[in-house]
Amino acid sequence: MFDLSGKVALITGAQRGMGKADALALAKQGAIVIVTDIDEKACKAVADEIISSGGKAAAFAMDVSDKKKIDAVFDAVIKQFKRLDILVNNAGIFRPKPALDLTEQEWQQTIDINLTGVFLCAQRAAQEMAKKKCGRIINIASIASGQVGVGFMGSAHYSASKGGITAMTETMALEWGPLGITVNAIGPGAIDTPMVSSTKSSPEALRSINARIPLGRMGTPEEIAAAVVFLASDEASYVTGATLFVDGGYLAG
Ligand SMILES: NC(=O)c1ccc[n+]([C@@H]2O[C@H](COP(=O)([O-])OP(=O)(O)OC[C@H]3O[C@@H](n4cnc5c(N)ncnc54)[C@H](O)[C@@H]3O)[C@@H](O)[C@H]2O)c1
């Protein structure tokens, strides 16, 4: 089960955190992994790690808020590998700030990276996947995506972007299902990555977060990668339009 041999998987924001864990996990299942992020050197380090443990990988610098760069990278990947089977839209930023103080530029930057970037990469991937009538698109949302009764302080821009992802995922699943493409989202809870390092460095903040999680701890990037592998696999062939929350029970609380 979960054999991805020969499949080509592109991951955004894959130089560290969850994106890197996704890259390593997909490679372990046999996928050829295209590691993309803003810093080419850091992407190459992840690709080298995969290659040195017997996997297949390539690295490309790709800022998801730059449509020209997205098109250039997708063109290069298709030219080199002749196919694209899996896209993991993982890149994202979280810069919390009270809504009263948020500038238009800060709002727009979060929307450009977290939401428009996901749309542009998904659209480009679907155009390629439709040619082979087969594909898997996995969008990384969040528990901070506007679920009823679950608000987060300082997250107006972030929650808007992540709520947009879950909504957009359903529309894409409807429109692209007939093209053989499944589109799903994953809604991580609090996951131990560099994104939340400030929370971790404050014992009080960490205690208060853990107290709200039924499993009593943050998740690991590998626990998100396991869900990515499932949704990318043939075994998830009848799953589309779903948001899978991997949150230690946070939303049930
Ligand atoms: N860590 C959490 O608790 C948590 C919870 C819910 C959702 N998420 C989401 O999971 C995803 C991964 O986050 P993470 O926790 O691994 O954070 P992270 O900060 O460790 O990783 C994010 C990656 O995205 C890259 N990135 C940022 N801007 C980019 C751009 N313009 N173009 C391309 N890449 C860019 C960064 O360089 C980085 O490698 C994000 O979408 C985040 O919003 C994280």
Task: Report the separation in Å between the CA atom of 195 and the middle of ligand 1, taken as the mean of its atom positions.
Answer: 7
Question: Do 96 and 146 contact (CB within 8 A), yes or no?
Answer: no
Select from 39, 74, 158, 195 the residue to mutate for testing ligand 1; criterion: most ligand atoms less than 8 Å from CB: 195
**Using CA atoms, how far apart are residues 37 and 80, in angstroms rounded to an integer?**
19
Q: Say how many Å lie between the CA of residue 30 and the centre of ligand 1.
A: 24
Report the pLDDT value the prediction gives residue 91, as an integer from 0 to 100: 98
Q: What tens digit of pLDDT does each residue of 152-211 get?
A: 999 999 999 999 999 999 999 999 999 999 999 999 999 999 999 888 888 898 999 999
Which residue carries 């020209």 as its tokens?
A: 68
CB 207 within 8 A of CB 144: no
Give pTM, 2 decimals. Answer: 0.98
**Active site amino acids:** 158
Query: Exposed, middle or buried by CB within 10 Å (0-12, 13-18, 19+), for 125?
Result: buried
What is the phi/psi pair of residue 126, to 5°? Answer: -65, -35
> Residue written as tokens 């790709």?
62
* CB environment 22-58: b (16+ within 10 A), e (fewer): bbbbbbbbebbbbbbbbeeebbbebbebbeeeebbbb
Q: Which residues contact 248 (CB under 8 A, 6 or more apart)?
A: 189, 190, 213, 214, 215, 216, 217, 218, 219
Is the beta carbon of 22 within 6 A of some atom in ligand 1?
no
pLDDT of residue 199: 81
Q: Is 70 in the pocket of ligand 1 (CB under 6 A)?
A: no
What pLDDT shows up at residue 197? 86
Q: Which atom of ligand 1 is nearest to the CA of 63?
A: 32
Q: Is 193 in the pocket of ligand 1 (CB under 6 A)?
A: yes
Which CATH fold topology does 8-252 show?
Rossmann fold (3.40.50)
Structure-token match 């992020």, residue found: 37
Q: What is the mean pLDDT of the chain?
A: 97
Ligand 1 mean position, distance from CA 178 (Å): 30
Domain residue ranges of the chain, discontinuous segments joined by +: 8-252
Continuous H helices in the chain: 17-28, 40-52, 67-81, 104-111, 117-132, 156-176, 197-201, 203-211, 221-232
Ligand 1 geometric centre to CA of 191 (Å): 11
pLDDT at residue 201 in the model: 82
Residue pLDDT, tens place only, 109-158: 999 999 999 999 999 999 999 999 999 999 999 999 999 999 999 999 99
Q: Is the CB of 159 under 6 A from ligand 1?
A: no
The 8-class DSSP code of residue 241 comes to S
